[in-house]
Amino acid sequence: MLKPRINYFREPAAIQTYRISPAEEGLTIYQILRQRLKISRRLLRKLRHNYRVRINGLYQDFSTPVKTGDLLELNFNFQEESSLTAEPMNLDIIYEDQNLLVINKPAGMLVHPAGDEKIGTLASGVIYHLRKQNNYNRFRSIHRLDRNTSGLILIAKNQYAHNYLTNQFVRGKVRREYLAFVRGVIGEEQGMIDAPIGRTENSIIKRQVDFDKGKRAITHFKVVKRYANATMVSIRLETGRTHQIRVHFSYLGHPLLGDNLYGGSDELIKRHALHSYRLICRLPLSHEKKEFTAALTPDLQDLLAHLSPLKR
């Protein structure tokens, strides 16, 4: 039996468990961790070196076979350095477990610090939240939202969850859906925008459709409702380029309302009218498929109330 230098199983809140099923009997601990739980080889080495895996309360070599009903215990809470300032913040948490946070981000908030803006970011609020739970892992977002895009964002609470969810994200298995209000009336009921996106010359912020140097970008959309001079659309991203939705709809001639960077008027709303309203992914450890939703923000509901109905 292996003898650890430090006992990482003293804090019950840090321990995650997995019960071995009849179909898994005879597999080794390594095979359970690698094949069933989808833990990366790099993280496996880290877990082994730090004695952060037990089976039935004992530290065993990873080549040990398991039996039905065996209890696997893991601890992914590492002491990681972070340059972020932890700030108390009223986070709108849609879902939370030991591995994942799903947060409804307000418009106007940066996800990460940028330039001179070191405080007031979502990252700072999440770090404070984690520290209160004695979780000293660093901040890990699975994807990005622009400052003025509201809605759902996935945050991993440890390295395992980050690897697991990022793998889903890269393979297009995380479904992200947005609601947007665009200028003008879109005639099609649904469509796909397949147009590469690159940087706009002489700008570090703005992007444009660029068929010569741009990177592949695909956006799917469906019309939800038409108004006198606007359309509400549901959008699903196949790729995740910077400003992708904003650039693509501006390219179509239907810029987002409020998006004055890409040709939209801010007469009715002072930020681009875009909301991340639906996310679907599988949860780390359990592999359970989950759906999360977030209602329209008050400013988008106010915009909705000011849009004139379409006259037939």
Task: Extract the runs of DSSP E, i.e. beta strands, from 210-270.
Answer: 218-226, 230-237
Alpha carbons 87 and 157: distance in angstroms, whole number: 17
Does an H or E element contain 53, and which? strand 53-55
Alpha carbons 135 and 155: distance in angstroms, whole number: 14
Per the annotation, the verdict on 146 as an active-site residue is yes
Alpha carbons 86 and 124: distance in angstroms, whole number: 5
Residue for token digits 């070191």?
Answer: 118
Q: Are 189 and 222 in contact (CB under 8 A)?
A: yes
Count other C-beta atoms under 10 Å from residue 167's C-beta.
Answer: 13
Alpha carbons 127 and 132: distance in angstroms, whole number: 9
Active-site residue identified among 146, 259, 299, 302: 146
The region that residue 172 occupies, defined by phi over 0 for left and psi between -120 and 50 for alpha, beta otherwise, is left
Q: Are 29 and 66 in contact (CB under 8 A)?
A: yes
Q: Are 106 and 47 in contact (CB under 8 A)?
A: no
Among 252, 250, 274, CA closest to 150: 274
Alpha carbons 265 and 258: distance in angstroms, whole number: 5
Active site (catalytic) residues: 146
